[in-house]
Amino acid sequence: MGRPSFENKGRHERQLPTPRTIRRSCKRELYRTIKRLKVHVPPDKAAEAERLYYRKVIEHLVWIAENGSNRKLLADWWARHVAPDIARLWQVDENRLAAAFRDGFGG
């Protein structure tokens, strides 16, 4: 039996990240966002936001993996799909949240 085709990627092609990698990235990105917002977010609200963000990333995983090198496009996606829910959860301004994420994410 040969190896699965996903292991034979070219040098510049990306593999899909593992669930652990996604979860850790979501946590790290939200941590940076909270720091830039300069507001207190209770640990339970932060954990709920991480679960929400993780779920959204899993739903759009293929698109995110295809556009992984375009930080601006990913930050725009986050502002459209994730920011409204987290802003409501944390009770902060959605535009301010999106700007804090973009600043921390580099998009």
The backbone region for 10, taken as left when phi is positive above 0, alpha when psi lies in -120 to 50, beta otherwise, is beta
Q: List per-residue pLDDT tens for the chain, 107 residues long.
A: 444 444 445 555 668 889 999 999 999 999 999 999 999 999 999 999 999 999 999 999 999 999 989 999 999 999 999 999 999 999 999 999 999 999 999 86
pTM for the model stands at 0.84
Which DSSP symbol is given to 8?
A: S
